[in-house]
Structure formats: structure tokens, C-alpha cells
Structure 1
Amino acid sequence: MTASPEVIAQALDSKAWPFQEAEKLVKRVEKAGNNKDHVLFETGYGPSGLPHIGTFGEVARTTMVRKAFELISDVPTRLIAFSDDMDGFRKVPSNLPNQEMLQNYLGMPLTKVPDPFGTHESFAHHNNDRLCKFLDSFGFDYEFRSATEAYLSGEMDETLLKMLANYDRIMKVMLPTLGEERQKTYSPFLPVCPRTGRVLQVPLVERNVEAGTIVYKDEETGELVEVPVTGGHCKAQWKADWAMRWVALDVDYEMSGKDLYESVKLSSSIARILGSEPPEGFNYELFLDENGQKISKSKGNGLTMEEWLQYGTPESLALYMFQAPRKAKKLYFDVIPKAVDDYLTFLSKFREQEGKEKFANPIWHIHSDNPPEEDVPVTFSLLLNLVSASNAHDTETLWGYISAYAPDATPADHPLLDQLVSYALVYYENFVKPTKKYRTPTEQEITALEDLIKELEGLPETAEAGDYQTAVFTVGKAHNYENLREWFQTLYEILLGQQQGPRMGSFIALYGRSETINLMRQVIETGGLQQ
């Protein structure tokens, strides 16, 4: 059941991009009239490799648009995760076993390539199974569809015959986009060779629209071969295949990366030639590595989804996908702590928000109206600093500090915080510890530390984070730091071995006043901490 007009107005007024996308779909449905009994969302997957962070991003973002649409419209929805598993096996990925065996199957449909891992019917079946388990692990609501099954079942036949009837018009769209040599061999139809079973990229000698067949020359035997374009005897070439899928399945929405912008335009033109309106779409920006270079699967730069989930929650990854999807963003390890803490900040705000502010909050797009109830009293960044100062190596040690800081918090009652504790230990060990470099304090800085110790010791037993923060400010001003940022950076460099750090009052409250004082005394007595 759709939301009330007031709630719909609030959602649209939020200007959140999933609602802007959903509004386009509402207009599409209105234009279609009674011809649409549901709205179909689609995401595509190429099973020549394993699911990756881009797969997650596309399904997560599409699901966000779907949720937004379901709030503002009562038209039922479906989401298809479509696997292009009839595609020809073009090259052997270097990370697969049985390389020599796989070389013998180049050109074969992916569902006809043996599984190099020996666990499934084919390489495509192996990767399709991984895809489904991958999507299931995140709780996505979707229907899996196989290109091979769609072609063989005849589901694509009607549209393939339309393509054959409109062959010249499609070629007129495609040929200007190709190089001179490719123009000589291009065809929107890729026949599956009856002799070898391989998906062929060959020029057509003849077309018979009435019979629904094409003729090509077998390059090895020199014979002319006639095959139907239907029944899985042919596969459509990439951009024509995309358009054919949109038309055959009646897809209403599919997003894609900015690198496919021109492909979307060409496929849309072909869809119109076939008598259908192309789906609504959204072009998202690609991710960058730590050096600002575009991420490439073949180069292996950037960050994989498995790596993210070693150090941050799935929700933090979903948040990262939600934020500024049309902006190129760095996808590397150092973005994880901020994403985790941003998620916690948005989660805490969500409980107090109403109307358009709630719908603008990423939490609604990740959880709808059912976010976790847990209150997390410690940020992820603060946990990292706690690990740094305490040299903790296990969760029990960290929970000892947390329990003193927040007596009501326990691992059982705060499962999200307990997750963050485990993440913090691993992240610190792999990314913070190797870069730590303690600075030796100057005489003036030692004097300032001595005064800070006195200031902290003078506070009452009931002192809290705000009191500690005031004490740090007071000492910084007394020692004539014109820019108090320099004073805080001094503390970070001397006490934590890093140039940036937490709000010092919160850190002292979590680590403990006596422990912080002991840390400063150690610096004063030894002339500086050592890694």
C-alpha cells in the first residue's frame, strides 16, 4: 500500500537521489497507463569473473531506488539480477586454476566451459551460484535470470526476430561507432557454431527474414552455414543484446557506470528501433584508487568488497554507495573509518528526525523505517585511538575500557559496537600501526604536558569528556598556541604517533584519566614514546 500524500510529498521534498529516480518511474508508469502491472528493475552481471564491489554497488543502489518507488507508488515491483552467461569465453583470468584446460574452451558460451574448481556444471554455473550466495548474504530481494536459459527457452525469440527484421536500421546505428576493420566483420548476431559450439564473431553472408535465419561462412571449412536466430542458435552482440534484453523482458529501470554512457545511448536507440521505450537509467561515477586513478579489475588497484568487510560493516559500505553516486570517490582502505562513523552519526540522527529530513537521511535508504535500535557510545575512530594508546590485542581488553566509560554497554547488548571492536583491532594492526611515528617533544611541549597533568589531576572524580576537553583547551591557551589545532596536533604526534586524532576529551574519558596521565608521564620521563 502506498504512503499518504503528505508522506509522499515529504519524501520527494527530501531531494534524496533515490526519490528523484523513483519519481521518473512514476511518470513512466503514468505514461504507460494500464499497460504496466508492475515495474521491473534490472541489474546485469558478467559471470566471466567473480562478484565484486561494483556488483554490490549496483544492486544496492538499484534496491534503494526500488524502496523509494515502493513508498510513493502502489505499483508492484520486481528486481531481476541477469547473468550474461551465454557470452563467449574470451580470455582465461589469471587467478583461475586449470589454466591449460580452460585455454581449450575459448570462444565457448560460459555455460559450456567446465568449472575449473570442479564443483559445478560449468564455469558460469559456479559464478552464478557465487552471485546468488553473495546477494543472499546481504538480504537483497531479487530474481536470478540466466541468459542461456532465456535464449534456449525461446523467451528472446520474438525480439530476436524483430532485430532480424530491423537489421539494416540497427547496422546504421552501430557502424559509425566502429573502426574501419571492425565495420567489415560486425553483425548484431553472433551465431553459435553447430560444429564447434563456439560463439562466433563473423560477418553475415545472407539474411532470411521470413525463415528467421542468417547465413555465415565457416572460416575453417569454407562452407556456408545457415542457423536460426532463435532458440539459442545465436546470441546478440553486446549493445544489441542489452537492448534486446530490455525489450524482451520489458525492463523499466537499469543503472550503469559512467563508462557505459555511450553504450546506453546506442542500446536505447536500438530499443526504440525495436518498438520499445528504453528503461529509465542512472549513470554513476567510477571509483578511484588511493592515487586518484580509476580502479581496474585487471590491475587489481583499489579495494575489493571482501577487503572492506574485513574492516567495516556492510551498512558502512552501503552508505558509501549511497553518498554522492555521481561523484568520483576514492575507494581505498583509509575511507573505511569515516564511512563507519558517518553511518553511526546518521543512525543517531535518524531517531529524532521526521518528514523530509528522515527521507534525506541515508539510513532510511539502507534500512527503510527499521534501522537498528542500538545506541553506540564510542566512535570507530575513537576505538582505533584506544587500540593505539592501550596496545590492546584482544576484544576483552578494549571492552574493559568501554565498560568503564559506558557501564551499561556490554557485547551482548551492543552487538554493533562489539563488531566495531573486532574491526578496530584488525584495522589498527594492518593500517595504523605500520604508519605510526612518535615525535620527540620539545622542552616547551614537556612543560605544557606537565601543566595538562596538573589540570587533569585537579578535576573532580565526576569529571566527564567535556571537562577534560576544557582542560586541554585551557592548557593550550595558557601556552600561547595561537591556533589550538597546533596544540591538539602536538598531543596526537607525541601521544599517539599520528598527525590526526580524536576529540581529546572523549579520548581521555574512554582511555581513562589516570591512564592518560601515565602516558604523558612516560613521555616526560623517557623523552618520547617508541613504536
Structure 2
Amino acid sequence: MANDERSARLGAFQEFAQSAKAWPFEEARKVVARLAGSSRPVIFETGYGPSGLPHIGTFGEVARTTMVRNAFIALTGGTIPTRLVAFSDDMDGLRKVPGNLPNQAMLAEYLGRPLTEVPDPFGSHESFAHHNNARLRGFLDSFGFEYDFMSSTETYRAGRFDEALLATLRAYDDVMAIMLPTLGPERRATYSPFLPIHPKTRIVCQVPILAHDADAGTITWKDEDGTTYETPVTGGAAKLQWKPDWAMRWFALGVDYEMAGKDLIDSVQQSSRICRAIGGRPPEGFNYELFLDENGEKISKSRGNGLSVEEWLAYAAPESLALFMYQKPKTAKRLFFDVIPKAVDEYYTFAAKYAEESPDKQIENPVWHISGAAAKAATVPISFAMLLNLVSASNAQERAVLWGFISRYAPGATPESEPELDKLVTHALTYYRDFVLPAKTYRAPTDVERTAMEALAGRLDGMDGASAEDIQNEVYAVGKEHFPVLREWFGALYQVLLGQEQGPRFGSFVALYGVAETRAMIADALARDVPAAG
């Protein structure tokens, strides 16, 4: 979709955006206030280090920044141009060889060289950085993000940063005064904000600067063999350390908004001070919380203890992942496989409400922020949790078997008429196979539970075609007759019949699975084990 069409669609919500309380609007108002009535173009930025492949953090940062950008467009009626710059720090030196890459020995020969000068170990692109940049762009394109890609190497070499680099050189002493107190004694002794590119070895050199000449635009430094060089800071002959580089980029590109993880709070503060020292104004933004793994520990790319985008998308649509990113960005959240079903069903619940809501309600609905104010969002007639339980009860291994149950529950529903549900069916089968089935543990019923389940089977006899609500009433009635606490009754149904701790609204499940099939499932469960003492 063209930017002007997108802006018009978002801008139509301007009236309702002014009082919207969703967090992207709170962030976007910072940018509106920053403009102080100006209508100049606004720059949003996200950064990416191409020493590795794009990951779930990359998705989260671009998705969340896009949500703030959309909110800004709505607040301003789409009258102010915006850009989202996806910036690749591909001029960084290769610090170590990632263990998951081919051609390790070849890569080791290029340690210290800019990533755009390291050969592609996969042999498909001009360099390792070009390969990963292509993966990044393909990754972002697959989600439909609107962005302008920018390469650090190309920008440095084209002279786009020259003015900002010279400003940094003029503020050299101020930058050093900001950075040195943040460093340890050993690092402090050799630190320089400028990293010259060795004219012979092409190594990004971490060396002390012997002299700097702001008028000439050069730095003087000594190689480890004693050779002294005078290097211009412009034209890609040198680059900046990452915190000064971040500050310089904000200044050079006029970045108005950039968010960062909570672990970078100190870095944001230091880069902001540097940006001011060289004559710029640091962008607005906020620090989002980091994700935790299944054990509540911080996710680390190097440890590989997290969940990748590819893994999430094997079990759910990207909208559910975007919802996970939207919700409570300043709260640490577990990011593991068991959060997927809840995120899926929450998304479709919001989607079902969205089409029926008035514009002032839509703009507070997460779907508005995920879809960019689309007129409607795809919905499904059956929840993901229900599909998982249907697979569990039927032991279905193929989509056609599930669709047999679904078409009986929702007459006329087919994979062709319900393409969103068809995708969900495939995801449910995959998720069940990988996560639910290995964890299933059936238990024997107590005497009380056995009696209650026999009574339920009797009450269900003749209820073929009954509504889910009528069936649920019978389930409640049996539970009230035999259990002082209904929760115990439903827990027994899930554990004895489905082999799991939690389950669906049982009346809806029976209506979907079938009355006869449910009665047979009860009989099989009661015959499976000797009754446990009650």
C-alpha cells in the first residue's frame, strides 16, 4: 500500500486519536510535542547489528516503532510525512566468528574487518553483511513493514555523515569527558571515539588517538608496528565507536524517535549527552522490558534460550506475535512456546470485536495498531484452544479429520470459505504434536468422579444436535450434584478425559466433538484404569 493511502486511512482517525489512551499514542504525543507546530518530516529509527541473523527482538522493535508511527500519523491527520529507517551497523568489525556459520576458518582470517568486507560464508552475496542485510530486508518485507533500509558502510562512504563526523571531531574532548568515566581503567587508557580503518589491513582499529585536527578533519594514530598514520574522519576512512556512532547518527539523520531495550538505558543516556555535545537533539523514545525464557531468565542470543520468530510462526500467525509485542511493553514477559495459544486466541477475540466497534473504540483495540487501522481483521469461528482439545480428544493427525468435526459444528464451513481457520487448523496440529502430546498424562478417576462421569454420559444420551449452552447446563447440573466446588469437577474432566490440567468450556467442546464421540470418550476413559480411591 502506498504511503499516502496508508496515511489517509490512519488520518481518518484523527478526531478519536486525540484522546486515545493506548501506549503508542502516549509515545506519539512526545513526537508531536517535539515538533512544536512544525510540519517537517519525522524520522523514526530502528537499529540492527548484521553480525547475526534477524531475530524476535528485531521484529519486536520494528513492530512497536511502527505502532508509534501509525499513532503519530493518526494524531496529525496524516499531514506530516514520516519515515521509518531500518539502519544496519554493517561497518562494524567482525569481533568473533559465530559458531553456527559454515567456513569458520575462512571467516577467522577476516576478524576485525568491516562486516561488508568479510566474504559471505554462504557464498550467495557480496559479503557477510550483504547476506545478513538481505535476510533482514526479506524478514521485514515478509511482515509488510514499511521502512527505508540504510547501510552504515554506504552512508559513511557516500559522505552522508561527513558533517556530523566533523562536528564530533570538534567536540572530541567533550565526547571523551562523557565516555571515559563509564570505562574501566584498562579500556580508558586506549579509548577513542574514532576507529580508523587501517589503509592496508582494512582492520577497524581500536587504537589511542595521538592527535586530532578539527580544521583538517583528521586523526593521527600509530599502528602496532610503530607506523604513524593521519586519517581523515570523513568518507568512510574511519568510523565511530557504537555509542558516539549512535549519537552521531541521530544528529546526522535528524532522528525524532527510537526505542531501546531496558539493558541500554545507560547507553541511551550517554549517547544523548554526546548528541547534545555535537549540536544535535537526541530523539524521543522509551525503554522496553526484555523477554524471559521458560525459567524466568533473560533471553540471550548467544545462549539460544529464547524463542525465534520462525518457531513462533510454525505454530501461529504473525498477528499473534505482534499482539504479544503490543501488550505491556514495559513489563518483563516470558517468551516461550506455552504463551502462543493464549496470544492466538486473544488476538482473534480482539479481531472479532474490532469490526463491530465504533472508531473511538477501534483505536484502543490492539488490532488497530497491528493492522494499521484496517477496515476489518480476519476472524475464526473456533478458538485455537478448542482446536487443540479437539485434536487431543480425536487423536487427529490430519487436517481433513479435523475439518470433518468442524463442518458438523459450523455447517458450510470449509477450508476454502474459512482460510484463516484452515491456517489455524494446521498450526493446531503442529502445536499439539510438538507440545501437547508429549506432556499428556491421564489419571484414573476417583469413585466420585467415576459416578459423575457416568451420570454425564447418561444425560448426554439423546442430546445430538443440542446447543453448546444446553450441553453446558447439563455439565453444570452433574457437577453441582456431585462436587462442592465446580472447579474440581472440571479439573477431573480435563485430567481424566483429556490428560491435561486445563481445558475448554466443556459444553462447547462436546458440541464440536460430538455427543456420541464424547460419550465414547467417557466410556474409554472409565475403562482405561482401575478407579482410584475417592
Task: Quote the Cα distance in structure 1 between the aligned partners of 2:98 and 2:11.
Answer: 52
1:103 and 1:383, CA in 2 relative to 1: closer, same or farther beyond 3 A? same
**1:346 is matched with which residue: 316, 325, 350?**
350
Report the residue type matching 2:501 in the other structure: Q
**1:17 is matched with which residue: 19, 23, 35?**
23
In structure 1, the residue matched to 2:469 is 466
**8 Å contact kept, 2:391–2:432:** yes
Instruction: Report the Cα offset of residue 105 of structure 1.
Output: 0.4
**1:254 is matched with which residue: 258, 269, 272?**
258
**8 Å contact kept, 2:10–2:372:** no
Task: Quote the Cα distance in structure 1 between the aligned partners of 2:372 and 2:164.
Answer: 37
Task: Quote the Cα distance in structure 2 between the aligned partners of 1:19 and 1:208.
Answer: 45
**1:37 is matched with which residue: 15, 18, 40?**
40
1:68 and 1:514, CA in 2 relative to 1: closer, same or farther beyond 3 A? same
In structure 1, the residue matched to 2:52 is 49
Give 1:26-425 correspondences, 5 Å limit: 26-30=32-36, 33=38, 37-73=40-76, 74-219=79-224, 221-370=225-374, 372-425=376-429
Matched, 1:456 2:460: yes
Task: Quote the Cα distance in structure 1 between the aligned partners of 2:134 and 2:465.
Answer: 57
What is the number of equivalent residue pairs in this alignment? 523
Instruction: Report the Cα offset of residue 527 of structure 1.
Output: 3.1
Task: Quote the Cα distance in structure 2 between the aligned partners of 1:4 and 1:403.
Answer: 38
**8 Å contact kept, 2:217–2:233:** yes
**8 Å contact kept, 1:22–1:69:** yes
Q: Deviations over 1:255-274 (max 9, x none)?
A: 11111111111111111111
Task: Indicate the SS of the match to 2:239.
Answer: strand
In structure 1, the residue matched to 2:478 is 475
Report the residue type matching 1:67 in the other structure: N
**8 Å contact kept, 2:402–2:425:** yes
Task: Quote the Cα distance in structure 1 between the aligned partners of 2:274 and 2:101.
Answer: 36
Instruction: Report the Cα offset of residue 209 of structure 1.
Output: 1.3
Task: Indicate the SS of the match to 2:47.
Answer: strand
1:422 and 1:40, CA in 2 relative to 1: closer, same or farther beyond 3 A? same
Task: Indicate the SS of the match to 2:363.
Answer: helix
Task: Quote the Cα distance in structure 2 between the aligned partners of 1:140 and 1:59.
Answer: 8
After TM superposition, the score normalised by the length of structure 2 is: 0.95
Instruction: Report the Cα offset of residue 443 of structure 1.
Output: 2.3
Task: Quote the Cα distance in structure 1 between the aligned partners of 2:323 and 2:484.
Answer: 38
Instruction: Report the Cα offset of residue 359 of structure 1.
Output: 1.2
1:483 and 1:371, CA in 2 relative to 1: closer, same or farther beyond 3 A? farther
**8 Å contact kept, 2:10–2:70:** no
After TM superposition, the score normalised by the length of structure 1 is: 0.96
Task: Quote the Cα distance in structure 1 between the aligned partners of 2:201 and 2:11.
Answer: 60
- Name the Cα RMSD after superposition: 1.6
**1:499 is matched with which residue: 498, 501, 505?**
501
Q: Percent identity?
A: 60
Task: Quote the Cα distance in structure 1 between the aligned partners of 2:443 and 2:527.
Answer: 14
Instruction: Report the Cα offset of residue 75 of structure 1.
Output: 0.6
Q: Deviations over 1:98-129 (max 9, x none)?
A: 11111110000000001000111100000001
Q: Deviations over 1:324-364 (max 9, x none)?
A: 00000000000000000000100011122224321111000
1:261 and 1:287, CA in 2 relative to 1: closer, same or farther beyond 3 A? same
1:30 and 1:377, CA in 2 relative to 1: closer, same or farther beyond 3 A? same
Instruction: Report the Cα offset of residue 2 of structure 1.
Output: 6.7
Instruction: Report the Cα offset of residue 441 of structure 1.
Output: 1.2
Instruction: Report the Cα offset of residue 458 of structure 1.
Output: 4.8
**8 Å contact kept, 1:440–1:528:** yes
In structure 1, the residue matched to 2:3 is none
Consecutive unaligned residues in structure 1, runs of 5 or more: none
